[in-house]
Amino acid sequence: MEIYEERTVDIQQLERRLKCKVSLYEQSLTNLGSCTIAMIKAGEQRYLVAVGSGPIFDELDGEAEDECKVCPLSHENRLVLNTYLPYTHPVANTTKRPSIGLGDRLGEATPGHIWALEGTSVFPIFAQQSIRELNFTDRTFKDVIDAASYAVFQEGYTYGFGADGDHLKKSEEIKQALEDGATMITLDSSEQIDPTIQNLDEGQLQARYEALDREIRELYEGLYAEQEFPVGTSTLKLDLPTLKRDILTYHKALDFIQIIYEQHILPSEHPIDFEISIDETDTPTDPKSHLFIAKELKRRHVLISTLAPRFVGEFQKGIDYIGDTAEFERQLVLHAAIAKQYRYRLSIHSGSDKFSIFPILAKTIKGSFHVKTAGTNWLEAVRLVAEKEPSLYRKMHSHALKRFGDAKAFYHVTTDIEKIKNLDTMKDEDLPSYLNDDNARQLLHITYGYLLEDTDETGKKLFKDAFFSLLSREEEHYKQLLDAHISRHLSLLGFKK
């Protein structure tokens, strides 16, 4: 669609019509033939506005008056927007740009993420949600993509973004995510990985191995046993004892990955970024195990975009890396060499706030990786609450303490509740300091679902309405907080000065 000279939207006319203060998101103002479209904010509500005439004016659903149509930010209207402005539709990262997953649990963080990306060539995954996150926030994957698409339009971001169905474990989940518009699938194969194998003694290992089908054993042994393979400047030998453990640990997962690839990824009419997650285990992924998996994926003709090993050390939610950074770097060199050799990129999960290892990633992988963040944008929203509405923060903090035990069932964290300063001793102006404390950060991070969705005895949400109302009123400040926080990530990762 050809774009003509710039037009304007009559804000005063809209204020008279909507009977409230109206502001225009200037970057959204777009002229399509005889129709001008833009994003406005009326009170605390955002709308699409179409002025003039033409196909997009007719197709958008809304209330028309004097050649001005005010349209809700519905899923149907998002699809119309995608048709006429393709940059608002998620796409795969076909050029293999360095990428970052910026999952927005709230549907409000993408504008701030866009600010942070300015001046970089990083490919963003603005829509990134797992089934667990969708359940905790009472959203659908369509909701997530809708919010990202409208934010892209609002901010005039035209450089492309992706949509990740994150940590999906079942064929039907993947099918649904692709139907909803996912351009990336992160396959979590943890339910097919046997975590008990790595801790077996030699006798137990041999007994389990001999119980495996002989044809499987002979196949793998013939391909890999006691063979040496070059990896970067090193050589890795797949000795038989290690190979036995890897076969028992991963062979069912490899079968599952191949099935999902052939059923859902390969037949797709559109490019899909296919990520393999093997990080949801207690045992770090040995580089030899990674090599075995890489060689098997190649043998099975499974093409992947990224792979997430379980790196050495602790990648806990919302806090910095815990572990020996020198050992992390030593193993990362091998993992990166394997990924490069087999033509995919490494993915770092729970990557938010891992500031101590970001320079190592930047130096070792030189930009060719994917980093996943998610909950950190929620924590910046909570920081906003602490700064702007202390009474609401105090209530949320108290409720998080009550719900911490329930939330721990879903996350691996080492939070020490006893080390969090007593709320009653804190002055209002000191409340934001909780967001700089690891224990408090994890408390607030993992209880987000309860803070958003818990209700009182009448069924009313305890905090959700007040929380989102504050975000709407303070949206510029929220953008600034996110810009600063994500910019720190990007700078240390080598993408931004």
Annotated binding site: 167, 317, 349
Dump the DSSP string for 104-142.
Answer: -SSS--HHHHHHHHTT--PEEEEEEEEHHHHHHHT--HH
Q: Exposed (0-12), middle (13-18) or buried (19+): which is 90, by Cβ within 10 Å? A: buried
Number of Cβ within 10 Å of residue 393's Cβ equals: 27
Annotated binding residues for a divalent metal cation, written as ranges, equal 167, 317, 349
Closest to 102 in 3D by CA, of 89, 117, 91, 87? 117
275 as an active site residue: the answer is yes
Output the CA torsion sign for 335, 336, 337, 340: positive
- Token readout for 200 is 């077996």
Closest to 44 in 3D by CA, of 496, 488, 465, 445? 465
Q: How far apart are CA 60 and CA 49, in angstroms?
A: 9
Q: How far apart are CA 471 and CA 478, in angstroms?
A: 7
Could you say which DSSP state residue 461 is in? B
Pairing outcome for strands 234-238 and 227-231: antiparallel
- Helix (H) / strand (E) element for 448: namely helix 448-453
Contacts of 486 (CB under 8 A, 6+ apart): 102, 112, 113, 116, 117, 373, 376, 377
Q: How far apart are CA 43 and CA 24, in angstroms?
A: 12
Q: How far apart are CA 440 and CA 410, in angstroms?
A: 17
How far is Cα of residue 285 from the mean position of the Cα atoms in its chain?
A: 22
Residue among 104, 108, 133, 166 flagged as catalytic: 166
Residue among 275, 353, 389, 438 flagged as catalytic: 275
Q: How far apart are CA 74 and CA 63, in angstroms?
A: 13
Q: How far apart are CA 452 and CA 461, in angstroms?
A: 7
With tokens 């036995």, the residue in question is 244
- Token readout for 130 is 């797992």
Q: How far apart are CA 358 and CA 369, in angstroms?
A: 11
What residues act catalytically? 166, 275
